[in-house]
Structure 1
Amino acid sequence: MTTMLAPSGQASGQVVELMLEVPPGKVIQYDMARLCSALGVDDPTRVAVETDGLRRAIVTIYPANPLAEIRGVTRTDLVMDRHGRITVGRYHNGRPVRRRLFDPRTGSAQRFLLFGTTGSGKSRTVHLELIAEKINGVVSWVADLKHGQSVPEARGAVDWFGTTAEETILMLEGAVGVAKERMIRYARLGRTAFLPWHPDPLLHVTVDEANRLLEKGAPYRDRATYLIRELGRTGRSVGVGIRLAAQASHLEELGGSDTLRAMLKEGEVTLLRWSSSMMRQLVADGLLPAGAQLMPIPKTLQQATLVSQFDEADDDDEEAGGTQGMAYVLSSQHPTSLMRHYRVGAIEPTPGLDPEILALYGDDEPARLEAASWEAAGRAYEYRHDPHAMATLCAQLASEHTSDPVAPTQFVRDEAPAPAPTKGRLLDDRIIDVLRNAQAPMTADDILAGVLADGGKQVSLGSVRNTLGGLVDSGDVVRAGHGLYATPTS
């Protein structure tokens, strides 16, 4: 193996870059632990290795971990460029990391896969992408299968927010219905590719904690697997994308490896801190070049040191910084280059919703699904902001569900819409009544007070704001000024 020292030199505090090459006829291979030992480096997080998959490699040695500190994300970072990309962080060498929300060259919606163990920064990364979607006018449907605890700030900032397995199934069915409706509509127009906002917006469905839906033994595993396959098959050309965020486990635990293999090879794949079984699967599926290795991402940057067993322990040492947000973007041109996502939200835990994350989402209304696809999205979309009505639909779905295999043609609920709940009134009707009885245009807070005073089911300000957005889109409510609403006849 021949080496060449880069001009940066080898002096203390400077970066050292080694260009390595093996003789013709051989393929470069390396073992990270042995490499660090040979270089006299006791902290593997200071070493970055990139290969061309054949004969050459670049080894970069830093005086300290270059990603130990990372700045907070800004809304400007998340504005799409002309290539449909947003900036989500930086690589170890300081270069920006970009992720594609849409591919304008092909007119294709994207498939997103995000894997990470507990505490790796998965939820904050999901927030980053959802905030970007809101900023760029993408319609976001989010299923947070941790009962809404993973990304609670997204509630009210997206078009549809669900927290149960049943609502997730209804959401996926609605997305498949939208994709098929758009396909038929575009075929009549002679369109072969999707043009965002001409006239329809991009629609992205996010399933956070997807392993709870797709793991072996999950009640809706087969149904969910089919629907995700359908979205991957039919959604790309009509502007319907799918994002799965899951614990880093073996792919067989996520609906079967065949379910995700195509998404892994063609989607935007990000790997946070991982498990060994996940790594073996990724290499076996050909997502990483043969012989390529990823430097393991430790839980913290604290380096283990050997001390005599008889030395007095120092329990006052502060733990080194964590590695939340560190990852590899496997679908990028630099799949083996360590990167770190920009920080999202407060560093320390907050007692409630994180105000920094809420500020990044902003107070403006999220993008809504086009009216032409409302019917295809199903009754669940109509009831998405009414907890009682949604609970009725979910209970109906649960009662219909059996352990017997269901034919794929039955998965999309084309049957007659579910009957309206017999108890309570829809939030839409309650809001319209409040506005009709008002003497002047009202703010969302005033509308909430009026709704809560009508004796019906208690609702939140976020639900009122979301429902107002839908009513404005349908023409049942108009904007009468900044932050003011009224009925058309008020």
Structure 2
Amino acid sequence: MAVVREYVLKTPPGGVKRYDHEALCDLLGVEDRSRVIFEQAVGREAVCRVYPSNPLMGVRDMTANDLVMDERGRIQLGTYFDGSPLRFRLFDPRTGNAQRGAVFGTTGAGKSRLVQAILIACKNSRVVVHLADLKHGQSVPEAAGQVATRVTTQYEAVLMLRGLVAEAERRMAEYAAMGRSGFVKDDPDPLVYGIIDEANRLLEKGAPFREEAALLIKELGRTGRSVGVGIIIAAQAGHLDELGGSDTLRGMLKEGEVILLRWSSAMMQQLVSDGLLPRGESLQPIPKVVGQVRRIRRYDEERVDSEDDVNSQGMLYHLTGIRPTSMARTFMVGSVAPTPGFDPLILALYGDHAPPGQAIDLEAYVSAKEQEAAAEGGQASTPSAVPAPEPGPDTSRMSTAQRILAALPADGLAEVDLMAALEVDGGRRVARASVRTNISTLRSKGKLARPDGSGLIVPVLAD
């Protein structure tokens, strides 16, 4: 009978923040790296388990019962490696807040299936969903007819976001008149979510509606949650700067529900630098191929074809859950192999009842400028709901120090956001090392505040 080897380890004060997973596997004599799970516990204790096979392989199918909110507003998406339930919160009945959510993952990591599960859970829990599927509707095709609103273009997505912000503003005004300080689900309004799949297409640098979309998403994340209007984005991103700038999403990431599927190294570095994980913390890598053993073959040794199977879809970390560094996996959503049409297993999970809510009237949120452009036979290249920014200073003759001071708002910026601002301010490209040197000099001259542990670079304002 196969057994699990478990080692309880005493660690230095503060625990183990960084370790070499491959070296640990070599020490234990385990060739299949995915069989070894290391987890830091509270205090000066850690546990290392060696499984006979990866414990997250062979998870069961998702059921409709998994995808109905419990009394605490949670659904069960899957399981951790030790069998504990992986839960995702859609609503917090204690505070009355809708959630902010973000799902990140590289191509083939299982992002679209996870989004399907969230969409099904919303329908089965009587949560109104307005969906933008920006892969021309291909990411989650079964959602057609299963949500209140479904759009597939970037321009329609911006109109949808305008409608969601307008709904949040309407609720704020009405609740204030009622003397109500929070949201009460279904009294009188339902819980509503805007969900944007392939959000990177809408928010990446060069996208036509990036500026307004980022502003609207930020507004929903900041104020919509308190009136029952939530926002969830799913994206293939290598870096947060590709998603409208990290400042747009920082609040969502730190206080919402964040899931990280198989990732890029740049994304991991950004999440750590933004404080979502403790600095120096490391996550065990999610391999593209689970169970693959790297070893030298003899010249006449036959190669096993199954070693190229991509079978880690759905493996993830719930970064804002109670176990952010513990690997988990979603239950199986839908058919294993692609189907010639809509996946019947996914349709069965949605059920045949009508989705809750009314569609957003997108035409009601077309601006006068856009209507004018359409009447002239064209379409405005950029939605005009956001006022045009004031002309900025001429940076072509400014020093790097002057550009830093010009770019910083009163409440400061993180270094990565400052670098992004300097990239688009019209001046010459400047190296990160030069920016850091200038920051140190400006601090010594009293023009920038000394570091306070927040990671923000803050100007010293004149009285």
TM-score interval for Structure 1 and Structure 2 normalised by the shorter chain: 0.7 to 0.9
Q: Deviations over 1:408-431 (max 9, x none)?
A: 89xxxxxxxxxxxxxxxxxxxxxx
1:284 paired to 2:273: yes
Residue 83 (structure 1) aligned to one of 72, 89, 102: 72
Between 327-336 and 34-43, the greater mean CA deviation after superposition: 34-43
Q: What is the match of residue 17 of structure 1?
A: 6
Aligned to 1:427: none
How far has the Cα of 1:45 moved from its partner?
1.3
How far apart are 1:355 and its partner, in Å?
Answer: 0.8
Sequence identity of aligned pairs in percent? 54
Deviation for aligned residue 1:117: 0.6
2:379 maps to amino acid: S
TM-score by length of 1: 0.74
Structure 2 residue identity aligned to 1:155: A
Indicate conservation of the 8 Å contact 2:130/2:150, yes or no.
yes
Is there any run of 5+ residues in structure 1 with no aligned partner, and where? 1-11, 384-390, 410-490
Change (3 A) 1:220 1:379: closer
**Deviation for aligned residue 1:133:** 0.1
Q: Which residue of 2 aligns with 1:126?
A: 115
Aligned-partner Cα distance in 1 for 2:84–2:133: 32
Q: Which amino acid aligns with 2:98?
A: A
Supply the distance in 2 between the matched residues of 1:52 and 1:398 (Cα, whole angstroms). Answer: 60
Aligned counterparts of 1:347 and 1:76: Cα–Cα separation in 2: 20
Q: Does 1:220 align with 2:209?
A: yes
Q: How does 1:393-432 map to 2 (within 5 A)?
A: 399-402=379-382, 406-407=386-387
RMSD: 2.7
Contact 1:23 1:55 in 2 (8 A): yes
Cα displacement string for residues 234-270 of structure 1 (whole angstroms, at most 9, x for unaligned residues): 1011000001000031001110111111111001000
Distance in 2 (alpha carbons) for counterparts of 1:393 and 1:170: 16
* C-alpha contact (below 8 Å) 2:32/2:293 kept by paired residues: no
What SS does the aligned partner of 1:399 have? coil
Matching residue within 150, 154, 165 for 2:154? 165
How many angstroms does 1:311 deviate by? 2.1
Contact 1:53 1:292 (8 Å CA) reproduced: no
Show the 5 A alignment for 1:452-471.
none
Q: Relative to structure 1, is the Cα distance of residues 27 and 106 closer, same or farther in structure 2, using a 3 angstrom cutoff?
A: same
Aligned residue pairs: how many? 385
TM-score, reference length from structure 2: 0.78
Conserved 8 A contact 1:344-1:357: yes
Q: What is the distance in 1 between the residues matched to 2:146 and 2:331? A: 20
Rounded to whole Å, the distance in 2 between the matches of 1:278 and 1:200 is 37
In the alignment, is residue 234 of structure 1 matched against residue 198 of structure 2?
Answer: no
Match of 1:151 in 2: 140
Distance 1:131 1:395, change over 3 A: farther
Gaps of 5+ in 2: 390-463
> Measured at CA, do residues 404 and 166 of structure 1 come closer, stay the same or move farther in structure 2, by a change above 3 Å?
closer
After superposition, the C-alpha distances for 1:98-131 in whole angstroms (9 at most, x for unaligned) are 1101001111000110001111110000000000
Question: Is the counterpart of residue 48 in structure 1 residue 37 in structure 2?
Answer: yes
Write out per-residue CA displacement over residues 327-385 of structure 1, whole angstroms, 9 at most, x where no aligned residue: 1100111011111101111111101111111111111110004xxxx8xx5553799xx
For the Cα contact (< 8 Å) 2:16–2:40, is it kept in 1?
A: no
What CA distance in whole angstroms lies between the structure 1 residues aligned with 2:177 and 2:309?
A: 60
Matching residue's letter, 2:25: C
Asked whether the 8 Å contact 1:71–1:343 carries over to 2, the reply is yes
Q: CA deviation at 1:39?
A: 1.6
User: Structure 1 residues 53, 186: closer, same or farther in 2, change over 3 A?
Assistant: same
Question: Could you tell me which amino acid in structure 2 is paired with residue 87 of structure 1?
Answer: Q
**In the alignment, what sits opposite 1:380?**
363
Q: Which residue of 1 aligns with 2:349?
A: 360
* Deviation at residue 404 of structure 1 after TM alignment: 9.4
1:36-86 Cα offsets, whole Å, 9 max, x none, are: 221222222112222247532222221110111111111111111111001
Structure 2 residue aligned with 1:138: 127
Residue 59 of structure 1 aligns with an amino acid whose one-letter code is C
Q: Which amino acid aligns with 1:400?
A: A
